[in-house]
Amino acid sequence: MKILVFGNFGSGKSTYAKAMAERHALAHLDLDTIVWEPGQVAVPRPAADINRSLQEFLGTHPRWIIEGCYGELVAAAAPHGDELVFLNPGREVCLANNRRRPWEPHKYGSVEAQNAMLETLQAWVAGYYVRSDDWSYQRHRHIFDAHKGIKHEYASLPLWIATTDLG
């Protein structure tokens, strides 16, 4: 089982991926952990390092779930996967989920640092449906529609995932 989960920030990717990883004993890669410099906010790693990290993960784990909003990385991993999952709950759900987001220590040094970035993140999330970059709805839609294998699009998390306590 090799699953790629993608969508807007706040769409439920991490919740979905954690539940599936736990249920099916899958290695889990949050693409944020290879895209950004550790301990720095919005400082990307060099593209060669990102791609090397992705290829190492793909080559090391026979069963995995990968999640993120990075269309270029989803497209690069898709030929290695068995299934695509596009989480597309809509703008308002993503914005609300971001407001409830718990502290993410792998991204921010403190709760205060995360909270200081919230409005910037909210503006970025709100633009998902109008942007045309690799992290946009337009790019995600293209990846999903072009995929010839197994794929699912969800407007909400499946009930068993939405009610799973991943505390």
What confidence tens digit (pLDDT) does each residue in 29-62 have? 999 999 999 877 688 999 999 999 999 999 999 9
**How many residues appear in the chain?**
167
Quick one: CA torsion of 125, 130, 136, 137, rounded to 10 degrees? Answer: 100
pLDDT at residue number 39 = 74
The full set of domain ranges for the chain reads 2-162
Q: Cα separations (Å) of 28 from 18, 47, 70, 142?
A: 7, 21, 16, 24
Helical pair 118-126 and 91-99, crossing angle rounded to 10 deg: 170
Superfamily the domain 2-162 falls into: P-loop containing nucleotide triphosphate hydrolases (3.40.50.300)
The DSSP 8-state label assigned to residue 10 in this structure reads: T
Over residues 81-131, the pLDDT tens digits come to 999 999 999 999 999 998 988 888 777 778 898 888 899 999 999 999 999
Write the CB contacts of 167 (distance below 8 Å, at least 6 apart in sequence). none
Q: What is the pTM of this model?
A: 0.91
Q: How confident is the model at residue 166 (pLDDT cuts 50, 70, 90)?
A: low
Distance, CA of 90 to CA of 44 (rounded, Å)? 27
pLDDT at residue number 123 = 95
